[in-house]
Structure 1
């Protein structure tokens, strides 16, 4: 497995750097899953902060009781890490990448890694069951990012390949969403389609194929989302 071939979010890259630092400070000969956990928990993103606050996780306290055994380690080299990683760390990263791909995403984030750490049993000595449950529910799932658009006015002229959804486009949009993102947004869109002129826009490529969509006001007035872009269009 070559992590160098995987795109990382900025927070994930920061978390990996922190994990390496924790490894060096602990005196471990290779980067362990525990170092990954500390890196992810110390990355500073809002979901992680909220989960730590709700669960009472204290990173400084977490570091003190842990004294890793350096016996029978199996080392591996994995770019972009500058130090060896353990076989168990490699398995965690592979599982995290699998989660990323299952979600049809192209950037590895700390939520994928945290989920892999917890589900693989690598956090048993460091987290209580309650703390694991909170992390799974708060920091490893998709989040609604509400944006208040109460004062927003649509532009008078739209881009050539972006248009408001018409009745003729509705079935194509449902098909696009199912293929690209699964069924988690389908019911919301179908519910919105029952109303006249729902605030849903689609983007098409030169052949007329839908490559993205965005909606607002369909959950509650002034709120944006869901939205999505075809995987092949992402950079």
Structure 2
């Protein structure tokens, strides 16, 4: 199983792989959704809240992997683990229904992030086994068919909007030979201006830098067109964006 860097730290810090130990370790992370959770739960969980909880031998990581696969991702992250912990019922006696829902909103749901384009050093080097370029009209049919087959109708409709509504479609595609291996776009999600996404990479090319190159190519185009910040809408792999473009989570009460 592959883990994000943050998840690897969480596992290393946890004394065991049970619900309580993993949840404690996530709250101690001090970054990402762990930091937000710790802030929200501060004062709501008493100091030794875990005392008296009977930890069973449930395989939290196995169940978390099922969440990872359900969302078509390849690295286990803390959101998957928290979803599995909540499903296990191990923390039911210390988490009220409203608090449980708040945790789901923070850690188990797609989140919006923001990125300061003025401070970002963008890398658009194309010296790779793949090549990233902005679309031309002739790419439309092949790209939309590929997006629908890989990511579904909803994303295909959003990408199609760029070809229909923009003179210069704000879509970048990664190619390996004549094959599409990824795409990224902006200003297509619900018509929002300055909104990055969606972005997707074929599963067998993830972890090879395709997503980062697509992201930087797209953000560079946004900056070139006068944007000073980008809002990354409904991001799943939060840690990827935090590392790749210094994005920060927008608190729920500001979304």
Question: TM-score by structure 2 length?
Answer: 0.67
Task: Give the counterpart of 1:36 among 22, 31, 39.
Answer: 22
Task: Give the counterpart of 2:87 among 102, 110, 119.
Answer: 119
Unaligned residue ranges in structure 1 (runs of 5+): 1-5, 24-30, 71-85
Q: Name the structure 2 match of 1:200.
A: 171
Tell me by how many angstroms 1:68 deviates.
Answer: 4.1
Unaligned residue ranges in structure 2 (runs of 5+): 208-255
Which one is further off, 105-114 or 129-138? 129-138
Task: Give the counterpart of 2:198 among 218, 226, 230.
Answer: 226
Count of residue pairs the alignment pairs up: 201
Secondary structure, aligned partner of 1:162: strand
Of structures 1 and 2, the one scoring higher in RCO (CA 8 A, sep 6+) is 2
Tell me by how many angstroms 1:130 deviates.
Answer: 1.2
User: Any residues of structure 2 matched to 1:1-235 within 5 Å, and which?
Assistant: 6-20=1-15, 31-54=17-40, 56-58=41-43, 61=46, 63-64=48-49, 66-69=51-54, 87-88=57-58, 90=59, 92-149=60-117, 161-195=131-165, 196-206=167-177, 208-219=178-189, 220-235=192-207
Tell me by how many angstroms 1:10 deviates.
Answer: 1.3
Question: TM-score by structure 1 length?
Answer: 0.72
Tell me by how many angstroms 1:155 deviates.
Answer: 10
Secondary structure, aligned partner of 1:138: helix
CA RMSD of aligned residues (A): 3.1
Q: Name the structure 2 match of 1:28.
A: none
Tell me by how many angstroms 1:169 deviates.
Answer: 1.8
